[in-house]
Structure 1
């Protein structure tokens, strides 16, 4: 039974969902415009991410995730796209078009773990949350091994970064809040619907804040705009689109249902850009960060636009179906 006490939260949530394709580019613009203010809140991003992970996992159970692992083909294909095909595409494009520094940035940008934010977009567009959570969960846990291996084999770089620190950061942002949400679903099932009603709009506001904060990182590059930067941005955009496209094609070839297609599209297309930026700053010369900053500019805008496109496609198919009955 729906609790009318939380109806205003549900209304706000629906308004935010419908407005995300507009709010996302506006948030990017505000982040760049007010970079000096938003960059001061970079330390809050892990906490904001944690809330999003918690809300995205509410209502899920370990049984849901276990069911996904019993039929692992979609998971294997998704991880193959994420960790083999996409870095390879980035490497080949980089070899054809760019200098070694930019090429390294491209490979790094498409080697980092699938984005925590994919959970939010999967939730907004009614994808399969248990599959998306399982992909993020497993890819994050494997990333301390995947990332050094990928960089070593694709660009000949062996990064001696703090594996323990990175694992803890990713566990704190994704794994721990997700496990807390799954525990809440199991032990307090009557409270979960109310929690979702209240926290869903808050999580979307957190998403908007994260976009603004991440965009503030890109501000210095935007303000020194030139054609070479535009060239890099368009290249990163094209490679990112190929990630979404490969996810869609993979889901179609596997004959997955609509909710699984949505989840596979987002988990294959999105990356944890914050983690990539941190690695680039800590272990590479500044030019390596440029492709990652380029991805910050449009990742959320692209996710919103593709979600709107998929939703429009579903509406059109529904209308066609009604017309033929």
Structure 2
């Protein structure tokens, strides 16, 4: 294993630890991290650029090989999580700012960490990559209007303005990264690609630190209801996606596991950025907590599945 591989594995392997450490540092030294707030969108753009650099035209071959499963995965992502978020905030009677944040994180696309969890769980990795890529590319056209429909009365937004922002933050960097990979070739960009996961971890840790810094004074007051809402949202997302894909739509075990992670794990970095710009810092907290929790729960579920059926 090369030095680059070892470094990347070390940084990404302790992602949750980095998040917790920097969140604590930010809580006790908020002034040290507040200056990052104006750069949150740029940090997410860097993450999306890295995603574009790793995309390959072969990733979308699953659209031809198993179009039904891809379409079902995309639809489940944009149906289950938004509706779950809406139902959970009504059940828990959350304050409108937190409620809006929970619904927003339910309306964003799949998180890229789902691909790693699918690999560990011996799921269909190609299906996972395809669904997460497509939901990400569709997010400017879906996320603003889903949120506006479900939670627009709590914190009103201009969905068209959100569309433009998502396009600039998500689609443009992905396209640029993909074009650079195509123009320079996979071999020339290989050395840079080794460090992209580490850069993404660093960027998301800084985003979370910035949000904790600006919400410090109210964080402890809302921590418990936010954590409860996020755990319910994430866990039920895994469960419903797995049950629907396997028993309602007849997918194989490997495919159902992939869809479970695709639906249950969100691009909470995007949720954080959108909440900070269009909602309030408090509304960004569900996305911040989701960033930490879905990596913990995803790892536990992936390890459970890998040990349960090692022959898959």
TM superposition score category, shorter chain reference:
0.7 to 0.9
Seen in structure 2, the aligned counterparts of structure 1 residues 172 and 125 have a Cα distance that, compared at 3 Å, is: farther
Residues 113 and 136 in structure 1, CA contact (< 8 A), matched pair in contact too:
yes
Q: Give the number of aligned pairs.
A: 297
Partner of 1:135: 131
User: Where does 1:1-325 land on structure 2 (aligned, <5 Å)?
Assistant: 7-9=1-3, 12=6, 16=10, 20=13, 23-35=14-26, 36=32, 40=36, 42=40, 43-55=42-54, 57=55, 60-62=56-58, 65-69=60-64, 71-97=66-92, 98-122=94-118, 127-157=123-153, 159-160=157-158, 161-178=161-178, 181=181, 183=182, 191=187, 195=190, 198=191, 201-220=194-213, 221=215, 224-226=218-220, 228-253=222-247, 254-257=249-252, 259-315=254-310
Seen in structure 2, the aligned counterparts of structure 1 residues 132 and 152 have a Cα distance that, compared at 3 Å, is: same
Give the Å deviation of 1:176. Answer: 4.1
Seen in structure 2, the aligned counterparts of structure 1 residues 47 and 211 have a Cα distance that, compared at 3 Å, is: closer
Q: What's the TM-score once normalised by structure 2's chain length?
A: 0.77
Give the Å deviation of 1:16. Answer: 4.0
Residues 98 and 282 in structure 2, CA contact (< 8 A), matched pair in contact too:
yes
Larger Rg: 1
Seen in structure 2, the aligned counterparts of structure 1 residues 269 and 179 have a Cα distance that, compared at 3 Å, is: farther
Q: Find the aligned partners of 1:78 and 1:26 in 2 and give their Cα distance.
A: 30
Seen in structure 2, the aligned counterparts of structure 1 residues 46 and 145 have a Cα distance that, compared at 3 Å, is: closer
Deviates more, 1:43-52 or 1:71-80: 43-52
1:34 match: secondary structure: helix
Per-residue Cα deviation, 1:107-164 (whole angstroms, up to 9, x for no partner): 1110112223434544566654443333233223322231232123223446322423
Q: Find the aligned partners of 2:296 and 2:24 in 1 and give their Cα distance.
A: 17
Q: Find the aligned partners of 1:305 and 1:218 in 2 and give their Cα distance.
A: 26
Deviates more, 1:292-301 or 1:265-274: 292-301
Seen in structure 2, the aligned counterparts of structure 1 residues 8 and 147 have a Cα distance that, compared at 3 Å, is: closer
Give the Å deviation of 1:106. Answer: 1.4
- Where structure 2 has 5 or more consecutive residues not aligned to the other structure, the ranges are 27-31
- Where structure 1 has 5 or more consecutive residues not aligned to the other structure, the ranges are 1-6, 319-325
